[in-house]
Structure formats: structure tokens, C-alpha cells
Amino acid sequence: MLKQFDVIVMGAGPAGATFTLTLKDSGLRIALIDKASFPRDKICGDAVSSIAKRILRQIDPNLETDLLDFAPKTNITKALLYSPNFEQLEIGFSKVGHCIRRIDFDNWLFNKAMENKDALFFPNAKVLDIEHQAEKVSVNLADGTRIEGKIIIGCDGAHSMVAKQLAGFKVDRKHYSGAVRQYYKNVKGLKGDSLEVYFLKGYLPGYFWIFPLSNNEANVGFGMLSDTIAKQKIDLKKSLKAIIHELPEVWERFKDAEPLEEIQGFGLPLGSKKYPISGKRFILCGDAASLIDPFSGEGIETAMESGKFAAELVLKNFKADAYSAEDLLAYDARVYKKMWGNFRSHYWMQKILGKRVWLINKLIQIGNLPWIQKRIPKAFY
């Protein structure tokens, strides 16, 4: 069965949903394809920074108000960083962020995207292959449906088929992380307004997190650079269990807590290496374009922003069918102009701190000196 559209979007996570939302009143006919149906979970820390709200506001100010009315979330005003010797440094945020379970946040965003009446959703889609032709792109689904469009937007996450097939992406472990997550209830001393980040001896470079969710639940996890995981044959699930059960300072918080699921893991393609993220009749967004912050592991806001940038260029170039590799280079330039500075500095932060326990201890100690405290500006979050 042949179905024709203007744009094919693979993946309806934050990148694909924001793309579709941005084009709400454009009249462009969009096929939004996902291998899942919504609501669906995504393994994540669930920290949604204030930048996500800025992006929503830019698309439509009502979206921010709507998100704020959206119930299951916590309001985040600071991060508590812990050194390997468990000294705490508080970093205040200049704007309020949130922790929202991805099953809820992505579903909220997806439903907003589906208010685009020119978008048709293909749930539970098993994509067999993508055909890249001179005048169009076609996607063949296992149920026999063939979807054609002028351009395809790869928003299909860390294992993106579009990135592999059309851009030849391969995982580079030096610029890729792995992380695991487990939801908990009743973690003792949970601070409802703070992201807790622990740099732990024996578990560097990487960090353990406890992020507060609504209903006294917490998103608990641990992540590391894939290069280290491979070289040291680290089992992230075992590491998370060991951190919780074997470190007395952590166990004290967890001994009456209840895990709500098995530990689950997923990959994080980091933005510390530049890739060509568009080409003839395709654009990559979010994780498919490897746009996760190399230090914090945050990728929701960059997925949303890249989705918005892609939508704006697709709309601008649509009438002229200007989707050659050269025509789309403006997208790469805009994304990297906005994000590369942060990615590079955070990459170097990650490299310099590395496994240097003494350095992290020292920096947190220095950060707590009263005259430094007075001078630390609130972090942008």
C-alpha cells in the first residue's frame, strides 16, 4: 500500500515530536513513524531542564503553561554535587527545571505533536528498509505499507536506522556513554528540589545519580564512558547494585527503599565529536545526530532544539524542493553554532576530571570556601 507525504519523520520521541509540533500550521503532510505506541517509556534520568521550556515557549507560549499545569513532576532548583569523600557542593539554578518520568513527558509532547492535523502517526511500525532515491525517500514497513516523502528526518534515537543507513554512522566508544536506571520508592532523605550527583571512587569517570520524582519516588542511576566500560569490562548493572549496597553512605539512604523495576540500561551518543548530520534528502536530530551533553548526559533539550531547527529549515526549503546535501548544510551549521561550544568545554571537563579523585575532592572543597561561594553565579539549567 503506497502512502505519500511531504516529510517522513522516523521516531516520535522529543526530537520527532518537536519537529512535528513546530510544523503544526505549516500544511506540510507528515508521516510520523515509531516502532512503539504511546505512552512508551525511555530509559533516562528524567531531568528536563528549563531550556526545554524555552524551546516550547518559542514554538507557542501556551505550551509552557500547559507543561507547568501538567501534574506528575518535581520542580528542580539546584544540584548537589558530592565528591569521592562525600563533601557536598550546592549549585543553585537560575531557572526552575523539572524531573518528569519520560513515560509521561514524552506522551505529553507526543500528544501536543498530534494536534498537528497534517501529521499521521504510524505506531508499532517495523521498518524493513529505507530507499534513498533522486527525487524522494521511501520507507518500507513489515505490514506492506510503503511511505514516500521528499525528505526523511531521523529522530529514531541512539540506535538510529536513518543515521546508520543514510549517514554511515558507527559507534565511537570515545564519544559514547552507557548508563543504567532503576526507579525507587522511599529513598531516605530525598530532596525534592535537588538533582543529586555523586562522583565515586572506583566508579570514575562517570557518576551516580538520585533524581527526585513525584510521589516520593526517585530515578536512580549510574553512567560511564563506553570506552572505559569496554576496556575495564565494567558491568553497569552490577556497579549500580554495588554502589547502593556496598557504600555505607549510600546504603544508609536505601536500606528501607523499594526498587520499582529491574535495572535497565541504554546508550548515550555524545556530542563531543562532530558528524555530518544532514545529507541529500535527510536530516538527523537528537540522539540520532549524537547530540547529548558529554558531561551531564542530558539530551532531551538538544533533541527538542535540533527537531525545531530541522523543522524550520524543511519549511523554508520546501517550495523549492531544496533538499540537496548543500541545501541542508545550514542545519549542521545552526546546530553546531548553538551547541558545539558547550559540548567541547564539557568534553574537556570530563577528560580533565577523569579518574582524578584528588582533583574532584579539591574542587568541591574549594567551591565550598565562603568567598568562592559568594562569587559562584547561579548555573543556567
Ligand X SMILES: Cc1cc2nc3c(=O)[nH]c(=O)nc-3n(C[C@H](O)[C@H](O)[C@H](O)COP(=O)(O)OP(=O)(O)OC[C@H]3O[C@@H](n4cnc5c(N)ncnc54)[C@H](O)[C@@H]3O)c2cc1C
Return the SS3 of 372: helix
Interface with ligand X: number of residues (CB under 6 A): 39
Binding map of ligand X across residues 113-142, x = CB under 6 A, - = no contact: ------------x-x---------------
With binding defined as CB under 6 A, does residue 179 bind ligand X?
yes
d(CA 292, CA 212): 21
With binding defined as CB under 6 A, does residue 277 bind ligand X?
no
To ligand X, the closest distance from the beta carbon of 64 in angstroms equals 17
| Residue 58 host element (H or E) | helix 50-59
Task: Indicate the pairing of strand 30-33 with strand 119-122.
Answer: parallel
d(CA 298, CA 117): 31
Which of 104, 148, 287, 327 touches ligand X by CB under 6 A?
Answer: 287
Which of 7, 21, 31, 43 touches ligand X by CB under 6 A?
Answer: 43
Which of 64, 156, 217, 327 touches ligand X by CB under 6 A?
Answer: 156
To ligand X, the closest distance from the beta carbon of 319 in angstroms equals 28
Considering beta carbons, is residue 163 or 313 the nearer one to ligand X? 163
With binding defined as CB under 6 A, does residue 35 bind ligand X?
yes
| Cβ atoms within 10 Å of 170's Cβ, excluding its own | 7
To ligand X, the closest distance from the beta carbon of 283 in angstroms equals 12
d(CA 166, CA 283): 9
List Cβ neighbours of 375 (8 Å cut-off, separation of 6 or more). none
Name the residue among 130, 113, 160 with its Cα closest to residue 18.
113
To ligand X, the closest distance from the beta carbon of 310 in angstroms equals 11
With binding defined as CB under 6 A, does residue 81 bind ligand X?
no
Name the residue among 113, 105, 18 with its Cα closest to residue 67.
105
With binding defined as CB under 6 A, does residue 298 bind ligand X?
yes
With binding defined as CB under 6 A, does residue 297 bind ligand X?
yes
Which of 5, 20, 32, 42 touches ligand X by CB under 6 A?
Answer: 42
With binding defined as CB under 6 A, does residue 221 bind ligand X?
yes
With binding defined as CB under 6 A, does residue 46 bind ligand X?
yes
Give phi and psi for 232, each to the nearest 5: -100, 10
Task: Indicate the pairing of strand 88-99 with strand 47-48.
Answer: antiparallel
Which of 3, 26, 29, 36 touches ligand X by CB under 6 A?
Answer: 36
Structural contact between residues 152 and 282, judged by C-beta atoms closer than 8 angstroms: yes
d(CA 335, CA 309): 7
Structural contact between residues 20 and 9, judged by C-beta atoms closer than 8 angstroms: yes
With binding defined as CB under 6 A, does residue 266 bind ligand X?
yes
With binding defined as CB under 6 A, does residue 155 bind ligand X?
yes
Considering beta carbons, is residue 35 or 132 the nearer one to ligand X? 35
Query: Running DSSP on this structure, what letter comes out for residue 377?
Result: P
Which residues would be at the binding site for ligand X (CB under 6 A)?
Answer: 10-16, 33-36, 42-47, 125, 127, 155-157, 161, 179, 181, 221, 223, 266, 268, 286-288, 292, 297-301, 303
